[in-house]
Amino acid sequence: MSQIRKATHNLGSKNIIGEGGYGPVYKGNLGGMPVAIKLLRPHGKQGFPEYQQEVAMLSRLEHPHIVKLIGVCQESCSLVYEHLPNGTLQDRLANGLPWEDRVRILSEQRSALKYLHSRRPNAIIHADLKLTNILLDAGDVSRLGDFGTARAVHVKPLEEETIVRRTIPMGTIGELTTESDVYAFGVVIMQLLTGMDGIKIAEKVRGAAKMQSVLDTSAGPWPVVEAERLLKLALRCCSMERKQRPAITSDADWKPLDILRAKAAPASKTWKWNCFAS
């Protein structure tokens, strides 16, 4: 704990760079390396189980678009991550983001989810995908973070559906599946393409007289035909019928995103990643 205090100037308020259900997030310096330190707040919305879950998950994951866990402090239940100076995708979007960067980030995050859902024998469901849990480095390259509610679910060979029961906060029982992440990703897609908040966003997009009319003009001139196709795919992601949602692991389903990504930047700048690597 002494190292944590030293790295953050004794947990000084000037070092706080974020706040969440888990507790405050401090910017610090460990051995000359800039880091982000998430400190458990007693009696917060999240607690020791989420701390354990995040350590268990991130300690075995390695992907260019998933946040890196550098270390832990068991005494204070602190988590030490790489520092991502450009903050959350939500903040970045509010300050303006070209459509090319939005599409690239979507492609990066689909790659991260594909990696998680493709792991065997246990697929990983993130379960809390949203703009505030996508972080950006100095070059606006994205990382998926906050794995406190993630779940590893055993998948039998040739079985793509992964289901685990959990209690929803309101007290009802629901199914947490890979399709749950797909739904959340559909919302993120629509937020990045339209600039709208996530509340009833599928209804707003579905109800638009012309899909082109909901594209966020502040992002610059969209390739309209390709953007509309991606919006239609996002609406499929948000279908109330789980079986209608495209699998993140199905490259054929995600061609609209790939085509738009190719228009946004040369292929030489895209990440190549083997999602089946252990």
Q: What distance in Å separates the CA atoms of residue 187 and residue 194, rounded to the nearest whole number?
A: 10
For 223, other C-beta atoms within 10 Å of its C-beta total 15
| Amino acid at the residue 74 | Q
In the three-class reduction of DSSP (H, G, I as helix; E, B as strand; rest coil), residue 261 is classed as helix
Catalytic-role residue among 101, 128, 146, 181: 128
Instruction: Pick the closest to residue 248 from 163, 121, 123, 89 (CA basis).
Output: 123
Q: Are 76 and 1 in contact (CB under 8 A)?
A: yes
Q: Are 238 and 151 in contact (CB under 8 A)?
A: no
Residues, the chain: 278
DSSP H or E run through 100: helix 99-118
Q: What distance in Å separates the CA atoms of residue 20 and residue 81, rounded to the nearest whole number?
A: 15
**Backbone CA torsion sign across 246, 249, 250, 256:** positive
Structure tokens at 251: 């490259």
Annotation says 140 is catalytic: no
Structure tokens at 228: 């509309």
| Residues annotated catalytic, as ranges | 128
